């Protein structure tokens, strides 16, 4: 009896404590429903993405539940958060609370030592190595090489054509630029073989979370193994060139990473880290940049006054060059209006819709509890279309970026922000400006298809944006 009473007296406060905590926590979990097990809201969301109504779909949630709500996406309990404070919360968070969360298929395809999989000190070390190559001071020496790639591309795919389809061509162009700068791989059959495997590989990147046809995923995995083999071979070749033939460490990204040493003289990155991160850079820079340039081309056809402004700026620069002379870093600095047009395009159609983080511990946001292990889904386009930040958001108006300090932090985020902000920003800026320079100074164009686009998950203009092209008289 005594033992029973003593145990009861001891247990009652503990039970009360646990109950009060559970009640308090469950009360603070965001509103919403997790839906049917496993499927949750995934199908509705994916349907909306394809129909390009994902923003509307999410706005309906916001109307119903507010700026923070729970749902289940791709089999995982998730909290959807929205708005500038939400972006700040996610993007500026440190590794001890929120970590990057990629899908299983992404990890399988890109390899487990790619930046997206790394956190803490490993993420910092690998990222710093990549940024040393991708920062403006380093990239400015490659402007001539990128210029050469654009000119070759136009001669091969645009010259003499009356109609072209922009998106597939921009994919070839961005692939070639990446191959040249990151892999030091010049044009030829090896590059073509690489492109074919690479395109098959990335088709399956989203297969598991989005489409569920496992054949596409398996094919993608097979191609991924071939891409890994090709990159491995390249890494070995570059090592030999570096060690035996005294190649410059600035030849390309692979050689640059191979030549990096820490203060003890040890290699900064392992061979797997080099392989997985050059493949990641290729994947991260391929669709995004080609889509951004494609939508700028679409926008220039839709906005004649804007196109005229870009043309004037670019013709001024062209006039200052001798025939056949490459653009330089100083020329790019003069392309201020063109870059504002690019930014406004990225605001209206950001290539990346959003991404996920995982809560490492019970985390609080806006008075709600995000339980440990749950995902956080943050999105880009909705803040970009917030009229309290960007007045008349549906109007294409590059002058919004004349005074960039007036744009509040964490509200223009096509490249993300904080410790995981896109390290390829400068690379994307250079390739975009050079491509637009040669396109507007050499061609006029108009659209052949309607103006609509869908997301899969990246935005794709209707039919890949077929356009009629007319050579421009050189004045
Ligand atoms: C218009 C072109 C581009 C856009 C819109 C874009 C967008 C983004 C965004 C939004 C993120 C952050 C995702 C997150 O926080 O979850 C990101 C990360 C990243 N991007 Fe880009 N990107 C572009 C071009 C490039 C290029 C050209 C490269 C490489 C040459 C690149 C390499 C990367 C890498 C490696 C990361 C991961 C960074 C990390 O986790 O620390 N991107 N990009």
Give the whole-angstrom CA distance, residue 230 versus residue 275.
10
Kindly report, residue by residue over 335-388, the tens digit of the pLDDT: 999 999 999 999 999 999 999 999 999 999 999 999 999 999 999 999 999 999
Structural domain includes residue 8: no
Structural domain includes residue 53: no
Give the whole-angstrom CA distance, residue 79 versus residue 24.
18
Residue identifier of the C-alpha nearest atom 6 of ligand 1:
415
User: Which pLDDT value is given to residue 18?
Assistant: 45
Confidence check: pLDDT of 160 > 70: yes
Ligand 1 geometric centre to CA of 428 (Å): 9
Locate the ligand 1 atom nearest the alpha carbon of residue 432 and give its number. 1
448 assigned ligand-binding residue: no
Provide the domain limits for residue 108.
Answer: 83-471
Is 355 touching ligand 1 by the criterion CB < 6 Å? yes
User: Which pLDDT value is given to residue 314?
Assistant: 98
Structural domain includes residue 30: no
User: Which pLDDT value is given to residue 336?
Assistant: 98
| Region for residue 109 given its phi and psi (left: phi exceeds 0; alpha: psi -120 to 50; beta: otherwise) | alpha
Give the whole-angstrom CA distance, residue 335 versus residue 319.
14
In the chain, the number of structural domains is 1
Locate the ligand 1 atom nearest the alpha carbon of residue 280 and give its number. 35
Locate the ligand 1 atom nearest the alpha carbon of residue 421 and give its number. 12
Structural domain includes residue 462: yes
Kindly report, residue by residue over 229-246, the tens digit of the pLDDT: 999 999 999 999 998 877
Structural domain includes residue 304: yes
Query: Is 0.95 surpassed by the pTM of this model?
Result: no
Confidence check: pLDDT of 429 > 70: yes
What CATH number did the domain enclosing 217 receive? 1.10.630.10
Is 423 touching ligand 1 by the criterion CB < 6 Å? yes
Structural domain includes residue 9: no
- Residue 189: pLDDT band by 50, 70, 90 thresholds? confident
Determine the residue of 175, 343, 422, 427 to mutate for testing ligand 1's pocket, defined as the one with the most ligand atoms within 8 A of the Cβ atom.
422
Query: Of the candidates 189, 440, 213, 143, which has an alpha carbon nearest to the alpha carbon of residue 314?
Result: 440
User: Which pLDDT value is given to residue 224?
Assistant: 86
User: Which pLDDT value is given to residue 436?
Assistant: 98
Locate the ligand 1 atom nearest the alpha carbon of residue 174 and give its number. 27
Torsional sign, CA 290, 295, 296, 298:
positive
Ligand 1 geometric centre to CA of 390 (Å): 23
Structural domain includes residue 66: no
- Residue 415: pLDDT band by 50, 70, 90 thresholds? very high
Residue identifier of the C-alpha nearest atom 18 of ligand 1:
422
Average pLDDT over residues 18-33: 65
Average pLDDT over residues 426-437: 98
User: Which pLDDT value is given to residue 209?
Assistant: 53
Share of the chain above pLDDT 90, in %: 73
Structural domain includes residue 380: yes
Is 381 touching ligand 1 by the criterion CB < 6 Å? no
User: Which pLDDT value is given to residue 129?
Assistant: 97
């Amino acid at each position: 009896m005594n033992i029973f009473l003593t145990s009861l007296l001891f247990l009652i406060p503990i039970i009360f404590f646990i109950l009060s905590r559970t009640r308090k926590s469950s009360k603070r979990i965001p509103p919403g429903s997790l839906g049917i097990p496993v499927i949750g809201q995934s199908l509705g969301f994916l349907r909306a993405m394809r129909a390009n109504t994902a923003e509307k779909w999410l706005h309906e949630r916001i109307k119903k539940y507010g700026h923070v709500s729970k749902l289940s996406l791709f089999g995982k309990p998730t909290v959807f958060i929205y708005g500038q404070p939400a972006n700040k919360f996610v993007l500026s968070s440190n590794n001890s609370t929120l970590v990057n969360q990629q899908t299983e298929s992404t990890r399988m395809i890109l390899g487990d030592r790619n930046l997206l999989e790394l956190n803490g000190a490993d993420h910092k070390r690998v990222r710093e190595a990549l940024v040393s190559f991708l920062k403006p001071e380093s990239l400015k020496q490659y402007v001539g090489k990128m210029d050469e790639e654009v000119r070759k591309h136009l001669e091969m795919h645009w010259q003499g054509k009356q109609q072209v389809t922009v998106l597939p061509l921009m994919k070839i162009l961005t692939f070639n630029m990446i191959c040249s700068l990151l892999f030091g791989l010049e044009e030829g059959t090896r590059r073509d073989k690489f492109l074919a495997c690479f395109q098959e590989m990335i088709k399956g990147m989203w297969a598991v979370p989005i489409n569920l046809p496992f054949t596409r995923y398996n094919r993608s995995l097979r191609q991924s193994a071939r891409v890994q083999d090709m990159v491995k071979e390249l890494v070995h070749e570059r090592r030999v060139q570096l060690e035996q033939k005294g190649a410059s460490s600035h030849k390309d990204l692979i050689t640059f990473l191979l030549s990096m040493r820490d203060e003890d003289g040890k290699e900064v990155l392992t061979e797997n880290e080099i392989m997985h991160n050059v493949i990641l850079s290729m994947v991260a820079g391929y669709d995004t940049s080609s889509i951004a340039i494609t939508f700028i081309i679409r926008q220039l056809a839709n906005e004649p006054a804007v196109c005229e402004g870009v043309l004037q700026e670019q013709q001024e620069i062209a006039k200052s060059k001798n025939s056949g002379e490459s653009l330089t870093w100083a020329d790019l600095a003069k392309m201020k209006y063109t870059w504002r047009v690019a930014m406004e395009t990225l605001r209206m159609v950001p290539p990346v819709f959003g991404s996920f983080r995982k809560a490492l511990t019970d985390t609080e946001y806006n008075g709600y509890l995000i339980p440990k292990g749950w995902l956080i889904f943050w999105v880009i386009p909705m803040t970009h279309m917030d009229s309290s930040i960007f007045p008349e958001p549906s109007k294409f108006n590059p002058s919004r970026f004349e005074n960039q300090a007036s744009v509040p932090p964490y509200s223009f985020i096509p490249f993300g922000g904080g410790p995981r902000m896109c390290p390829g920003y400068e690379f994307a800026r250079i390739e975009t400006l050079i491509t637009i320079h040669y396109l507007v100074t050499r061609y006029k164009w108009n659209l052949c298809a309607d103006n609509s686009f869908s997301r899969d998950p990246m935005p794709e203009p209707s039919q890949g944006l077929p356009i009629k092209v007319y050579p421009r008289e050189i004045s």
